Amino acid sequence: MEKVTLTLAEAYALARQVLRENGFSEAHACVLARNVTHGERDGCSSHGLWRLLGIVNTLRKGKVSPDAEPTITDHAPAIVKADAGGGFSLLAFERALPLLIEKARHNGIAALAINRCVHFSALFADVEPLTQAGLVGLATTPSHAWVAPAGGSAPLFGTNPIAFGWPRGDESPFIFDMATSAAARGEIQLHQRAGKALPEGWGIDSEGNPTTDPQAVLNGAMLTFGGYKGSALAAMVELLAGPLIGDMTSMESLAWDDGAGGLPYGGELVLALDPARFLGADAAAHLARAETLFAAMQRQGARLPGERRYQARQHAGEYGITITRSLYEEIAALDCKVPGA
């Protein structure tokens, strides 16, 4: 399969140009382009440049605002609210982040509720800035109802990811970002694009039967990881980033989409915790104990979450990122001004 290699600067410029030519404001285009470029850079192709197709499609279907200006509200001593105004979540998060960090450092813990946002991005991008500020981070969001609960046979939950980040000083932070479904929706769509069968246990068809056919799963339902355990976590996400912050569940998001095929609409909850405020003068000693835990994991041959992502990041910084020629041409076709369109 023919490939195209781009430097990170070229990938960002391509993404930004496509977004601007399709009507996104400069602020939204920059933050969206940076996010998809970083996803590709970090080896997360399901949230990389391929996402431009869904971003533009969502705009063309009238399901996202291309120029909404987020409204940031100092809602309570430890709560920040960001109304994304029907735009993508990323600009609202970026604008609210400084106040979230300030409140976490003052109170020891703070929460950010992002409302009325369209969401597609990997959540590790939302907890990593918190770890860079020396904070512990947790983020979660529902999506569209694509996932059957354990014991069920029809879509009810979203893929409902959970991301957690732990600061490690000069070391790369400990970050995991996982869907509560057996796989991310994007992974199933990428299998479909490549004509590859899915691993068993990822989904069921419209009749509730197990299948490895990506299209049958897309027409049927995805499954949670770990059976009832993943199902319980998915329900938790629905509640925390839905009713708790006054926003949509995955069922409500899908109903709002009304068959348009746009990206999920609803809310996101981000928590930030400050070890320095929890621990005071003992913070350094207890953070060192965390390093002992990480070292013990690695001595057994375990890979710390995020390690592959950081390795891919370093490689991409030196050698660029490589995507298929067909994907490049699909992206280029979104904007006739892109070379090769």
Positions marked catalytic: 46-47, 187
| Whole-number Cα distances in Å, 84 to 16, 140, 237 | 20, 16, 20
| Whole-number Cα distances in Å, 328 to 53, 134, 201, 274, 323 | 11, 38, 31, 42, 7
Question: What is the spatial distance between Cα 241 and Cα 122, in angstroms, rounded to a whole number?
Answer: 16
Amino acid letter at 314?
A: Q
Question: What is the spatial distance between Cα 142 and Cα 339, in angstroms, rounded to a whole number?
Answer: 37
Amino acid letter at 189?
A: Q
Contact 14, 53 (CB under 8 A): no
Instruction: Note the Cα 313 to chain centre separation in Å.
Output: 17
SS3 70: coil
Q: In b/e form, how buried is each residue of 112-140, taking b as 16+ CB within 10 angstroms?
A: bbbbbbbbbbbbbbbbbbbbebbbbbbbb
Contact 14, 331 (CB under 8 A): yes
- DSSP for 122-184, please give it: -THHHHHHHHHTT-EEEEE---SS-EEPTT--S--B----EEEEE--TTSPPEEEEE-SBSS-
Q: Tally Cβ neighbours within 10 Å of residue 166.
A: 22
